[in-house]
Amino acid sequence: MKLISTLVLLLIMLVIFGGMLLASGPGSKKAELTMISQLSGQQGTSMFSASGYDLTPLTEDRIEELASKLDPEEARIILRKGTEPAFCGTLLDNKKEGRYLCRLCALPLFDSNAKFTSGTGWPSFFQPADPKHIRYVEDNTLGMRRVEILCPRCTAHLGHVFEDGPKPTGLRYCLNSASLEFYDRDAKVPEGGMPDIKTESAYFAGGCFWGVEDRFAQVKGVLAAESGYMGGKTQRPKYSAVCMGGTGHAETVKIVFDPKVVSYEQLLARFFQFHNPTQRNRQGPDIGTQYRSAIFPADEKQREVALAFIEAQAKSSRFRDLTIATQIEGTGQTFWRAEEKHQDYHAKHGGSCAIPELSGG
């Protein structure tokens, strides 16, 4: 019986290793570099993540200090890029609700909501807790072409990412249990697992979200910009339905920002610069309510600031002879994140949207 179990385990390992070799065949080099480029393109240039964590690389002395708590096997995996045996990790079958932190520096890496059973023998996730909380590196060791994943703050080796995961990302982040520390949802986490700044969110609709997102992503103090949909009558809308104008949603950009660097009023001013607020239910050649100019306040405070801002703009020389069409919609509405292909569109594909000229219509 023991011999049969051993043979089964060897067969499983052969299938897994064979699949890795197949992935490293001709043409996969380009695919690997494309994946690194696209995933890294989501990360921006700020040293803070949208979750409010400082991602400034730790010094070698600090990493050495943190590494002193590791046992020999953890050090082999985390510091020397080792791999734990398949089906042996302590977190493989963990079904609890909570967060997975970096074993070395406690940066939150993954959430239980993104964990799935891949059958590969290692803990698997379809997306990180925050796009910036993973660093991607080309790995050509062991005769294979893979994408290694590291902690961006302490450079701890985590595992690899593959393009054979489930929806919505199609990715499989393959982790070593030894690289992770699990904490229940309500458990107190170490100091390194707590955000360094308190962020706020703003929501603006100003025509095609590709251009609005691209513009806001370049504003100092903006930590993240995401394309999505708000203001409609259906849940979990898809682009194919929204673009037909029947769902009532507007193409909207969610902005996560540091209020100590850029204020909500300053973001409103940028919003009026990045699109034409005098055009009703359109932006340039894009026509329909899905392209309307709208502000979705997160709370009453933002609503009051937005009302005062538009009132002041209406009296300014810039808009004195024009009518501002921007709508201030209800507070606390749900933001539905758009499909992955619409995120960071200009960063992935190049191009940009010109700042519009003011005109009525």
Q: How far apart are CA 329 and CA 178, in angstroms?
A: 47
Q: Check if 88 is active-site.
A: no
Q: How far apart are CA 130 and CA 14, in angstroms?
A: 33
DSSP class of residue 54 equals B
DSSP class of residue 100 equals E
For residue 321, the one-letter residue type is D
Length of the chain: 361
What backbone torsions phi and psi does residue 125 show, to the nearest 5 degrees? Answer: -135, 150
- Taken in order 10, 16, 17, 21, the sign of the CA dihedral is positive
What backbone torsions phi and psi does residue 111 show, to the nearest 5 degrees? Answer: -115, 150
Task: Say which residue the tokens 């080099």 belong to.
Answer: 29
* Closest to 106 (Cα-Cα) out of 54, 44, 148, 39: 54
Q: Check if 208 is active-site.
A: yes
Question: Residue-wise over 88-103: b if at least 16 C-beta within 10 A, else e?
Answer: ebebbeeeeebbbbbb
Q: How far apart are CA 39 and CA 43, in angstroms?
A: 7
- The active-site residue, picked from 102, 105, 174, 353, is 174
Q: How far apart are CA 319 and CA 278, in angstroms?
A: 9
* Closest to 52 (Cα-Cα) out of 108, 12, 4: 108
98, two tokens: 């909570």
* Closest to 251 (Cα-Cα) out of 220, 282, 215: 282
- The active-site residue, picked from 105, 151, 208, 353, is 208
Active site residues: 174, 208
